[in-house]
């Protein structure tokens, strides 16, 4: 099975090598800003001509936003715009032009409705001080040295790694991997190189192929499994909050940059900003490490994993919980499970965000009409079940996957679910059509129709991501 995978390694650059990398990143920024100014000038000129009543066939020719067109325009203008262009690799300029071409396409597709998700704004100019230095190489000499502690990149030469690249080197030696590109980027005060590699992965199967586990993510516990396991939330950001406040107060006392007066930051301000950035990077690395260990273990052990389609963006609107939700990385768990289940031969089932996993009783299937967030214990008035709210949700997610025989049936649409809480298919099939649950408070009565129609609605509430 061929797949695209990234290998990221920290670098130990000499001062001269760091200057060369910064020069290449600056060249990418210059090419990006020049091309953006050129595109904006053409767009503004055409808009002004329209206000003068100039017909469309006589307007200034539109500038193409494709990467080949931007590269052609840059090659014609670079002797004047950047007479030093020969000192940097052509890949540096291509990095900035490619980023602009992607940004313009995303903006255009977002305006026309072709791109789903949040609205994308028009590209902005890159600042020398606020932009993260980065340069990507797609051609030329890109290789890992035999000692596995050095890499070779075009124009930058031989760079020392902070850690061994043996995992990537083994695949390259066995002809099971092919490097597509290499990106050098400064993150958290340290330089990294990331290789985009086409990898030939061996077919694998989970340790327990028939195992089905429901995963309910949250804040108190990072994940509650239907097996009864509770994965603690390490809360890395909360643990580092006191130190971050100290570093932030120290930074505020230094003489920082001022765009109004043109004042440049002092050296002490820069050192304090670097200390704060390293602290943020440490928190991010700790969070990433914990999430990778959790998702890898789940993907290797269980054949079917069921998660919810959470609206994390909407959850972040809660000002009381936004910091804790962001610190948990709920969306990252699902993203990692999506590709790790395919790597390990498993299956990921995504329940619709309107599926009432917390409101449904895992014992009898009764659905509550309302369940406050403060109610951490689920009490079923129908069967008398008392269970932790998160364990109940995880059990319902696992049962949801067990009810569907998806072998050979392909994906099941997830957007058919409605926002109104309905009875679970197991409980609805036991009752007469068009009747409510007699003597059971807190449940939602059926709105007419047969039990088969209710069960069909429940079938619309999952998406199956195949390996």
Under a CB-based contact definition with an 8 Å cutoff, are residues 184 and 134 in contact? yes
Q: Which residues of 193-222 are buried (b: 16+ CB within 10 A; e: fewer)?
A: bbbebebeeeeeebeeeeebbbbbbbeebb
Distance CA 326, CA 218 (A): 11
Our separate counts of H helices and E strands in the chain read: 13, 15
Phi and psi at 166, nearest 5°, equal -65, -35
Distance CA 439, CA 368 (A): 14
- Residue 216 catalytic? yes
Closest CA to 234 of 299, 281, 283: 283
Choosing from 308, 309, 352, 427, the catalytic residue is 308
Distance CA 223, CA 332 (A): 13
Under a CB-based contact definition with an 8 Å cutoff, are residues 206 and 303 in contact? yes
Q: Beta strands of 327-368 (E only): which ranges?
A: 347-351
Under a CB-based contact definition with an 8 Å cutoff, are residues 358 and 369 in contact? no
> Three-class SS of residue 43?
helix
Distance CA 107, CA 15 (A): 38
Residue 72: CB atoms within 10 Å: 12
Q: In sequence order, which ranges of 131-266 are alpha helices (DSSP H)? A: 166-173, 236-239, 241-252
Choosing from 91, 216, 327, 352, the catalytic residue is 216
- Residue 390 catalytic? yes
Under a CB-based contact definition with an 8 Å cutoff, are residues 184 and 160 in contact? no
- Residue 57 catalytic? no
Is the backbone of residue 204 left (phi > 0), alpha (psi -120 to 50) or beta?
beta
Distance CA 177, CA 2 (A): 9
Closest CA to 215 of 390, 465, 385, 388: 390
Catalytic residues, by residue number, are 216, 308, 390
């Amino acid at each position: 099975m061929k797949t695209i995978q990234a290998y990221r390694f920290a670098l130990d650059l000499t001062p001269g090598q760091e200057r060369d990398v910064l020069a290449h990143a600056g060249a990418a920024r210059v090419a990006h800003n020049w091309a953006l100014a050129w595109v904006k000038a053409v767009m503004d000129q055409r808009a002004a001509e329209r206000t003068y009543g100039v017909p469309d066939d006589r307007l200034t020719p539109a500038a193409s936003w494709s990467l080949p067109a931007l590269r052609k325009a840059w090659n014609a203008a670079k002797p004047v715009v950047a007479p030093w262009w020969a000192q940097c690799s052509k890949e540096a300029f291509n990095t900035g032009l490619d980023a602009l071409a992607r940004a313009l396409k995303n903006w255009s597709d977002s305006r026309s409705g072709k791109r789903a998700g949040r609205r994308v704004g028009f590209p902005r100019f890159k600042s020398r001080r606020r932009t993260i230095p980065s340069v990507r190489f797609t051609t030329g000499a890109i290789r890992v040295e035999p000692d596995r502690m050095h890499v070779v990149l075009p124009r930058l030469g031989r760079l020392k790694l902070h850690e061994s690249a043996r995992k990537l080197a083994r695949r390259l030696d066995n002809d099971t991997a092919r490097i597509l590109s290499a990106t050098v980027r400064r993150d958290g005060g340290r330089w990294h190189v990331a290789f985009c590699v086409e990898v030939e992965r061996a077919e694998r199967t989970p340790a327990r192929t028939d195992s089905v586990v429901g995963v309910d993510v949250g804040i108190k516990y990072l994940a509650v499994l239907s097996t009864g396991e509770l994965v603690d939330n390490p809360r890395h950001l909360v643990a580092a909050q006191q130190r971050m406040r100290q570093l932030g107060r120290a930074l505020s006392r230094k003489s920082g940059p001022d765009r109004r007066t043109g004042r440049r930051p002092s050296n002490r301000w820069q050192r304090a900003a670097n200390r704060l950035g390293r602290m943020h990077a440490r928190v991010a690395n700790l969070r990433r490490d914990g999430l990778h260990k959790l998702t890898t273990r789940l993907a290797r052990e269980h054949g079917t994993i069921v998660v919810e389609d959470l609206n994390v963006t909407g959850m972040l609107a809660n000002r009381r919980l936004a910091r804790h939700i962001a610190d948990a990385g709920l969306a990252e768990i699902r993203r990692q499970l999506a590709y790790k289940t395919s790597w390990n031969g498993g299956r990921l089932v995504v329940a619709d965000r309107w599926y009432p996993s917390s409101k449904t009783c895992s014992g009898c299937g009764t659905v509550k009409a309302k369940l406050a967030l403060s109610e951490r214990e689920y009490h079923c008035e129908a069967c008398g079940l008392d269970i932790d709210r998160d364990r109940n949700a995880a059990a319902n997610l696992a049962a949801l996957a067990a009810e569907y025989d998806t072998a050979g049936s392909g994906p099941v649409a997830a957007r058919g679910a409605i926002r109104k809480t309905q009875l679970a298919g197991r409980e609805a099939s036991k009752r007469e059509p068009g009747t409510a649950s007699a003597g059971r408070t807190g449940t939602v009565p059926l709105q007419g129709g047969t039990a088969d129609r209710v069960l069909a609605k429940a079938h619309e509430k999952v998406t199956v991501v195949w390996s």
